[in-house]
Amino acid sequence: MNEPIPMSLSLPTQTYDDNIDEGAADGENSTNLSTIWGRLLSIDKLFPSIDLIDQEYTLGRGKTCTIVFNSSEVQTSKYFLAYSSQHFKIIRDAAKKYVYVVDLSSNGTYINGEKLGKNKQQILENNAEIALASKTHRVYVYIDSNTSEDVSIPAVIRDKYIVSREIGRGAYGEVRLCFNRVGYPPFSESPDTPPLSEQILKGLYTFPDEFWSEISAPAKDLIRQMMCVDPTKRLTITSVLEHPWLANDHDNTARVDKIMYPTLQTMKSMKRAACDEEIDMDQGDETPSADIHANGKNNKRIKY
């Protein structure tokens, strides 16, 4: 079960060019990971993710903006006309080592659901959520590249995902927003495919050999059954845990049981401890015996 599943509902981040001219290593055209001080990761399929390298960015519909909202995809949004020519600005103060956002819009820039207000600014914290024109129209999550990763999250997850803000919490854990470091969305709109809504409603997706050639048949079968569009045929949580791809991994099954049924595990541990204590007490119980052997000496009989 250690094989990767290259499927994500997040948009892929920008790619990087590793073929950097050594002679231009310090020039304006050199772009490497060390120069990226932050990222705007897209949580709206109409917007691309952005690597932040320059000290200042202006975003809006105006042609003079650093990032212009004028793609054919963005123009289909019902909020398109609500975007200002200059909607908001992101500025990095390298000396003071902080980043702040300035609202330049008429209809509002929202940070974590709170409207900033025209010409007002606010420090942009790591994992801050940015919405445009409406607090429900969430577009970006800001990631500070200089922030240390949460080491409490297993390395196997941190290696595959950029782990962002908490979006939910239950009795036995929390739900976090994650972005694939490498991957692609299962559904994507392009001129040669049906509309995105139709793909999702009909479950139109494939397993391209380029990414899935090394993935086992049981893993693909589990995904197919989990993504079945008919809810009566779709796997339940119990059925997922009983699927061979998971059930045959006994070590992982034990870990799942420990997480999902902690009370049961505690009771089992207490029962084992009680049994061990009873055995120890019995073994230490020695009673004198009235039985006298031929040699005339009293011997102790050990009770088991």
Instruction: Read off the pLDDT of residues 116-147 as tens digits, 9 standing for 90 and up.
Output: 999 999 999 888 999 999 999 989 989 888 77
Domain 22-178: which topology? Tumour Suppressor Smad4 (2.60.200)
Query: In this predicted structure, what is the pLDDT of residue 271?
Result: 62
The mean-pLDDT minimum among 16-25, 177-186, 207-216, 267-276 falls in: 16-25
Q: Which residue has the tokens 């897209």?
A: 42
Residue 59's CB is within 10 A of a number of other CB atoms, namely 28
4-11: average pLDDT: 36
The dihedral formed by the CA atoms of 212, 213, 216 and 219, expressed in degrees to the nearest 10: 10
Sign of the CA dihedral 148, 151, 154, 155? positive
The single-letter code of the amino acid at 217 is A
> Bigger pLDDT: 29 or 265?
265
Pick the CATH number of 185-248 from 1.10.510.10, 3.30.70.100, 3.30.9.10, 2.140.10.10: 1.10.510.10
Q: What is the mean pLDDT of residues 275-283?
A: 59
Is 238 within 8 Å of 261 (Cβ atoms)?
A: no
pLDDT of 28? 45
User: Amino acid identity of 191?
Assistant: P
pLDDT at 122: 94
Using a 10 angstrom Cβ sphere, with 0-12 exposed, 13-18 middle and 19 or more buried, the burial of residue 278 is exposed
Residue 53 vs residue 27, higher pLDDT: 53
Task: Look at the block and give the residue holding tokens 């197919």.
Answer: 224
| Partner residues linked to 99 by β-bridges | 92
**Dihedral, CA atoms, 269, 271, 276, 282, nearest 10 degrees?**
170
Calculate mean pLDDT across residues 137-164.
76
Do the bridges between strand 114-115 and strand 121-123 make them parallel or antiparallel, or are there none, so unpaired? unpaired
Q: Which residues pair with 54 in a beta bridge?
A: none
Domain regions of the chain by residue span? 22-178, 185-248
Burial class (CB in 10 A: 0-12, 13-18, 19+), 225: middle
Helices (runs of H) and strands (runs of E) counted in the chain: 8, 15
Q: Which residues pair with 88 in a beta bridge?
A: 59, 103
Q: Are 211 and 34 in contact (CB under 8 A)?
A: no
Tell me if 218 sits within 8 A of 243, measured CB to CB: yes
Distance CA 137, CA 77 (A): 10
Q: Which of 80-85's residues contact partners 24+ apart within 8 Å by CB, and which partners?
A: 82/107, 82/132, 82/133, 82/134, 83/107, 83/132, 83/133, 84/60, 85/60, 85/61
Which residues on adjacent β-strands are paired with residue 98?
93
